[in-house]
Structure 1
Amino acid sequence: MRPINARIIDIVNETPTIRTFFFDTELKSENIGQFAMVWVRGIDEIPMALSYNNAITVQKVGEATSALFDLNIDDSIGLRGPYGTGFTLPENNKKKSEVLIIAGGVGAAPLAPLAEKMSGNQGTNIKVTTILGARTESELLFESRFNNSGMLHITTDDGSCARCGFVTDVLSELDLDQYDMIYICGPEIMMSCIFDILQSKQCLHKTEFSLHRYFKCAIGVCGACCIDEEGLRVCKDGPVFRGTRLQNSELGKYKRDSSGTIVPCY
């Protein structure tokens, strides 16, 4: 699939390090949680989660994202996708479902539209509880979107807003039996700690994790994003995985760079 040309029509500064770029074209995503390949001309093509149907939310962390931050309204990039698997909604086997969303940092980007859809803003009626974490108050992402979608717990590493600590502190205090599904996206060290807690509570069967790995083709051909031990392709079999599929995997241990070399996750 060749990239389509997308013109930037608006740029929103979400935090000091995170911006949302809105485009003049929408990507018709079948499931929330899918990703698009973003071509920054002359620099690189990188995967980005869709935070709106016509927007990506980007944290400035490397060469390609820094180049994105240099773009202005009316500049353009290339987009292809959406690709991969998205989040699944709870099975409709009872009158009222309850879900838990756990978002850390820019991992809130694919989870905010999920919270909005499930809370009834886009046609369903599911009780949503979110744990939103960030390093500091100024880095909290999409707080209002989660707050408008249901109950919201906030944690900051430095205690500058709400509870001082980590999302796992709140998670450990909740009765997880009440939730039909649990959705997680954020830094891998955070997801690894959450995975261990949920595994110890025998909840992995009702969890979905959104992973980030280095992508090249994004359609499951090249194998650059395969994860050990099963060889699952993050671009095709993911990026959203049921927790039970990640048991005994490399999650939280290591990943591979553009050359295929193993590097620590954090």
Structure 2
Amino acid sequence: MYPIDVTITKIVRESPSTKTFFFDRSFEEALPGQFVMVWVRGTDEIPMTLSYKNAVTVQKVGDATAKMFELREGDHLGIRGPFGKGFTLPGPDERILIVAGGVGAAAIVMLAEYALSKDASVTTILGARNVGEMLFVYRLTPCKGLHLTTDDGSAHRCGFVTDVLVEIDSSAFDRIYICGPEMMMKCVFGILEKQGSLEKAEFSLHRYFKCGIGVCGACCMDSEGLRVCKDGPVFNGMQLIGSEFGKYMRGPGGNKKLF
């Protein structure tokens, strides 16, 4: 599958470490939680979630994203996808809980907007290191409940998303969606497991991808061999019991990287 060439039409600085890149192609078929493979010419091809139907939100963390931060409007990217298993879409009048941390908000904000359009009741817990790094608050303000946390207390509640979660009755929700740093998600996993709510929880995982379509096996997880790019990146909480989730992941050479 060859990348589709897209032209960057607008770049928005979301925070000191993140930018949103809009392009001239809208992927209307994309489901919230799916990803695209973004080819940064001369550097690398990496997976990114769509934060809009025609945009990706990027945190500067490696060679490819650093190169993207040098791009300007009018420059080009290659896009393959959308790929993978997205979030289960909520139905009308369902009560849903969203838990997002850091740039994980980019993977989940389209889901919140979809749920709101279907008259679902949406409660969101959104966390960030500090107020400057908090993403897409303006897109989440229509939620019935919006709980904001910052690690340093620079805005709203000082603490972590888990501090809010333990005060909420998860049994009151029909579906629960989680995306963020893996150790954050592992803590959420533990809380939901204790509360007996894992079966209705879905987690969006990040792993090293090569092909993005389930062929190469680079993103297989122990112990069931689930392919994150094909069987995920969204997994039901029950699928992650006893897996490597929250313990380690693998790098380009297959070496284990502990969290």
Contact 1:16-1:139 within 8 A present in 2 as well? yes
| Alignment partner, residue 139 of structure 1 | 133
Q: What is the CA deviation profile of residues 55-102 of structure 1, one whole-angstrom value per residue up to 9, with x for unaligned ones? A: 00000011110000000000001000000001112356xxx3110000
| Alignment partner, residue 72 of structure 1 | 72
Q: What is the CA deviation profile of residues 147-193 of structure 1, one whole-angstrom value per residue up to 9, with x for unaligned ones? A: 12332000000000100000000000001111000000000110010
| Alignment partner, residue 63 of structure 1 | 63
SS in 1 for 2:183: helix
Contact 1:6-1:76 within 8 A present in 2 as well? yes
| Alignment partner, residue 120 of structure 2 | 126
| Alignment partner, residue 187 of structure 2 | 193
Residue 6 of structure 2 is aligned to residue 2 of structure 1:
no
Contact 1:40-1:78 within 8 A present in 2 as well? yes
Q: CA deviation at 1:28?
A: 3.2
| Alignment partner, residue 99 of structure 1 | 96
| Alignment partner, residue 252 of structure 2 | 258
Could you tell me how far apart the structure 2 residues matched to 1:139 and 1:161 are?
11
Which runs of structure 2 are paired with 1:148-167 in the superposition (5 Å)?
A: 148-167=142-161
Contact 2:209-2:219 within 8 A present in 1 as well? yes
| Alignment partner, residue 112 of structure 1 | 109
Structure 2's unaligned 5+ residue stretches are none
Contact 1:37-1:46 within 8 A present in 2 as well? yes
Contact 2:30-2:53 within 8 A present in 1 as well? no
Total equivalences in the alignment: 259
Q: What is the CA deviation profile of residues 221-248 of structure 1, one whole-angstrom value per residue up to 9, with x for unaligned ones? A: 0000001110000000000000000000
| Alignment partner, residue 36 of structure 1 | 36
Normalised TM-score (structure 2): 0.98
| Alignment partner, residue 86 of structure 2 | 86
Could you tell me how far apart the structure 1 residues matched to 2:112 and 2:125 are?
11
Contact 1:98-1:179 within 8 A present in 2 as well? yes
Could you tell me how far apart the structure 2 residues matched to 1:154 and 1:197 are?
19
| Alignment partner, residue 50 of structure 1 | 50
Contact 1:10-1:73 within 8 A present in 2 as well? yes
Q: Percent identity?
A: 59
Q: What is the CA deviation profile of residues 97-138 of structure 1, one whole-angstrom value per residue up to 9, with x for unaligned ones? A: 110000000000011110011012xxx110000000000000
- Within the candidate set 171, 174, 179, 2:173 is matched to 179
Amino acid at match of 2:5: N
Contact 2:91-2:120 within 8 A present in 1 as well? no
Amino acid at match of 2:158: C
Structure 1's unaligned 5+ residue stretches are none
Does 55-64 or 24-33 show the bigger shift? 24-33
Normalised TM-score (structure 1): 0.96
Q: CA deviation at 1:31?
A: 1.9
Amino acid at match of 2:79: L
Could you tell me how far apart the structure 1 residues matched to 2:143 and 2:82 are?
25
